[in-house]
Structure 1
Amino acid sequence: MRNAKEFQPYPYLVMMMNCMLWVNKDSILFTTTNGAGMASQAVYISIFLFYCGGMNKLRRNIVLYLVAEVIAVAAVVLITLFAIQNLFGKQTFVGVICNIFNIAMYGAPSLVIPKVIETRSVEYMPGMLSFYGFINAGTWTAYSDRKTRSRHLRNSGLGMALCASQLIVYAMYLKSTPVKPSYKRLKFER
């Protein structure tokens, strides 16, 4: 059973864009965390592309989306370097775009909630992604609060709320999700 089935790649594609935007030459913290995020998303998306098999249209859309992301990041860099002259304007321009994709990253797993409610199954809901998103948003909320950066605090707080709502839906429908007999259980024998 090695195929992508109805799993959605979009939360991971949005996360890749978010990580690309937050890489910052002046901050080791932002560069290392987002560099690691980009690497993990590249691995996931590669695996997804490998297993989406006969879904050539989906594979093409994913590749086009990645190309569009690279073009968009290049455009942001070029606009920031050449079109905007003052530092405040540059920071505001990049900050607004980064915050939009930050919120989109936390909210993207919510796209599958209507399917969860319709099927009463969390089979295709990325529960661990929502959990780690909640932890991530909580960490950045604590960091923002400590540094008294209110705009980061608002965005991370909104991210926590989005991930919490996903986890609530996941918990509500977890028990009603049928267990697939095709999954093999590991046996540890002596």
Structure 2
Amino acid sequence: MISTGIIRTAVGIIGNVISFGLFLSPMPTFHTIVKKRAVEDFSPVPYLATLLNCMLWVVYGVPFVHPNSVLVLTINGIGFFIEALYIITFFIFAPRRLRLKILGILGAELLFVGVVLGGVLGGARTHDKRTQIVGILCVIFGTAMYASPLSVMKLVIQTKSVKYMPFFLSLVSFLNGLCWTAYSLLRFDLYILIPNGLGALLAAVQLILYMTYYSTTPKDDSKNNVELPKVTPTSTSDSLTAVTVEN
């Protein structure tokens, strides 16, 4: 008989694969940006939010915060590198005013993560306490990251066009959130359940919007440009971790 632990491990591995795919999903968007040498109506906010989320989960996964979390460091380290490349590309082709906004947000994020790391090391003496503090922050900012597509969903409703909310990304985001929600329920983990449950719900709404407004999207707007990476890194009390965001 297959144990719950084995099933949970299998679900976690699937979640890791999907999460890595989500990190790579905005590549067609940035191919378009480089080709046109302009960011058009694409927003840097989802990438900045994902970058912050990855940094927090890297802090969560270091041995002096949450031991035996190698996969937290690896997948979120990779995610940090990929998101940094996206932001650099966005910065190069953005207008001056938007560049200043990106620099301001990025500086605030780096300062925040530095304060969190210093505060946890100086104020929390046990692994459990450090895990709790950083884990709560990861849930808060992971949830905020999942909420970042709300502006694009509003744009879809206003323009009756799904140009900036492609079907594939919404579908994979839904499957990713659903996978990690199931994972968290197999051995209850609130840190995983909250952001991924919300992510699955928002992705489901995006799928509904896509089906609703697909027929009203002009043909020249129907290109599959990927805009929103929704990846929320998730972690567990053991060594298995992934990113759901997450987008």
Range class of TM-score, shorter chain: 0.7 to 0.9
Classify the secondary structure of the residue corresponding to 1:148. Answer: coil
Is 1:96 the counterpart of 2:136? The answer is yes
Is 1:31 the counterpart of 2:54? The answer is no
Tell me by how many angstroms 1:38 deviates: 1.2
Tell me by how many angstroms 1:48 deviates: 1.5
TM-score (norm 1): 0.84
For 2:173, which of 133, 136, 140 is the aligned residue?
133
Distance in structure 1 (CA, Å) of the matches to 2:54 and 2:171: 18
TM-score (norm 2): 0.66
1:97-137 deviations in whole A, cap 9, x for unaligned? 10011111222112222221111112233655433432332
Contiguous gaps of at least 5 residues in structure 2: 1-35, 224-247
Distance in structure 1 (CA, Å) of the matches to 2:167 and 2:89: 18
Is 1:155 the counterpart of 2:178? The answer is no
Distance in structure 2 (CA, Å) of the matches to 1:131 and 1:9: 21
1:128-183 deviations in whole A, cap 9, x for unaligned? 543343233223223322332244223311221122112222232222111229x8
Distance in structure 1 (CA, Å) of the matches to 2:82 and 2:105: 17
Contact 1:109–1:126 (8 Å) recurs in 2: no
Aligned residues: 180
The 1:49–1:130 alpha-carbon spacing in structure 2 relative to 1, beyond 3 Å, is farther
Contact 1:106–1:133 (8 Å) recurs in 2: no
Distance in structure 2 (CA, Å) of the matches to 1:131 and 1:44: 22
For 1:11, which of 46, 54, 58 is the aligned residue?
46
Distance in structure 1 (CA, Å) of the matches to 2:75 and 2:148: 20
Contact 1:137–1:160 (8 Å) recurs in 2: yes
Classify the secondary structure of the residue corresponding to 2:211. Answer: helix
Name the residue aligned to 1:186: none
Contact 2:53–2:138 (8 Å) recurs in 1: yes
Tell me by how many angstroms 1:85 deviates: 3.6
- Quick one: which amino acid aligns to residue 7 of structure 1? F
Contiguous gaps of at least 5 residues in structure 1: 184-190
Contact 2:57–2:72 (8 Å) recurs in 1: yes
Classify the secondary structure of the residue corresponding to 2:219. Answer: coil
Contact 1:84–1:90 (8 Å) recurs in 2: yes
Classify the secondary structure of the residue corresponding to 1:175. Answer: helix
Classify the secondary structure of the residue corresponding to 2:41. Answer: coil
Aligned ranges 1:90-129 → 2 under 5 Å: 90-125=130-165, 127-129=167-169
Alpha-carbon RMSD across the aligned residues, in angstroms, is 2.1
